[in-house]
Amino acid sequence: MSTFINELPKVELHLHIEGTLEPEMVFALARRNGITLDYADEGALKAAYDFKDLQSFLDVYYQGMQVLLTEQDFFDMTWAYLERAHAERVRHTEIFFDPQAHTDRGVPLAAVIGGIHRALEQARQQWGLSSRLIMSFLRHLSEESAFETLHHAEPFRHQLSGIGLDSSEKGNPPSKFVRVYAAAREQGFRLVAHAGEEGPPQYIHDALDLLKVERIDHGVAAVHDRHLMERLARERIPLTVCPLSNLKLRVVEHMGEHPMLKLLHAGLCVTVNSDDPAYFGGYMNANYQALQQGLGATDGELLQMALNSVEACWLSPEEKAVLT
């Protein structure tokens, strides 16, 4: 690992907290909660991490998170992530969680948000590691379910900064969630959405024009649409790109064909993120390293991406100044 990457202060903008559940913790929580998993042991679970596309990953991801039941479970998962992030010099992190994946199993939203938030607060006090929390709707579920979730989250409004959209992209276009995004915007939420991961460039246009998001999660499909690339560059719409995720889910066949540098040199505000690090083979440093070793990114290019993350994050101008 290069010392430049190790020592670079980092900001993470695309991280699913349920995607930080390491196999060891999945089994520890299963034992603690008396849950029997479909996998015999950690080795069997890890063997399932051979994904062919987004859906084959999501199937395992939703199974793994079934061990999360109590406020303490959500605290422990989040704390384990924050310890790793702190060790990798992450100074600020904006975290997604999937409320419907828990409330649909009967877990109260208060346990989910309470446990995550308590860990975020402890990291802020202990290390000055700042954070924001983004509530993400599952796009394979209905608009009605998203509306219900938005309503149920009202008591926790002050702990949430933004709204996101994730899960199975193909066949679940941004247009399905226009009204719920409009309602969230009226409530003062900041808006982001996954778009152009497996889906077409049109979904990126639609996330911007129909959902009115300020950032695109992934967005790598923009490389196939010259006009879209020009727009994203002109408007400095940030893309939260996840290199190892794209490799593991076969969005790219080899790191050498990843569009990151092409997008960077076209003037887009591209950022480096880990997505679901427990499943995709590494946290922030590993993602920077993949760009360095697999794509030949220079320290200067990596620095520009790290600065882009500061530009794209939701800290105040004064807080951003401390980071740079």
Q: Where are the alpha helices (DSSP H) in 105-191?
A: 109-127, 143-152, 178-186
- Note whether 276 binds ligand ES4 by CB under 6 A: yes
Contact residues: Zn ion, CB under 5 A:
275
Torsion of CA 195, 199, 204, 210, to 10 degrees: -90
Chain positions 148 to 167 lying near ligand ES4, rule: CB under 6 A, are 166-167
- Binding-site partner at residue 117 among ligand ES4, Zn ion, none, CB < 5 to 8 Å by type: none
Q: How far is the CB of 125 from Zn ion (least distance, A)?
A: 28
| Residue (123 or 251) nearer to Zn ion, CB | 251
Q: Which residue's Cβ lies closest to ligand ES4?
A: 166
Element of type H or E holding 217: strand 215-218
167 binds, among ligand ES4, Zn ion, none (CB under 5 to 8 A by kind): ligand ES4
Pick from 22, 88, 206, 275: which binds ligand ES4 (CB under 6 A)?
275
Catalytic one of 22, 197, 198, 301? 197
Calpha distance 54→167 (Å, rounded): 8
Pairwise CA distance, residues 246 & 254, whole Å: 9
Question: Quick check: 16 binds ligand ES4 (CB under 6 A)?
Answer: yes
Question: Cα(23)–Cα(207) distance, rounded to whole angstroms?
Answer: 34
Q: Among 94, 197, 206, 301, which residue sits at the site for ligand ES4 (rule: CB under 6 A)? A: 197
Angle at 244 between CA 238 and CA 250, to 5 degrees: 100
DSSP state of 275: B
d(CA 119, CA 125): 10
Q: Which residues are annotated as a binding site for Zn(2+)?
A: 14, 16, 194, 275
User: Total binding residues for ligand ES4 by CB under 6 A?
Assistant: 11
230 belongs to the catalytic site: no
H/E segment holding residue 14: strand 10-16
Least Å distance, CB 93 to ligand ES4, is 16
Q: Residues comprising the binding site?
A: 14, 16, 194, 275-276
Which has the closest alpha carbon to 309: 287, 293, 294, 292?
287
93 interface partner picked from Zn ion, ligand ES4, none, CB below 5 to 8 A per type: none
Which residues are the active-site residues? 197
Q: Which residues bind ligand ES4 (CB under 6 A)?
A: 16, 19, 54, 61, 166-167, 194, 197, 245, 275-276
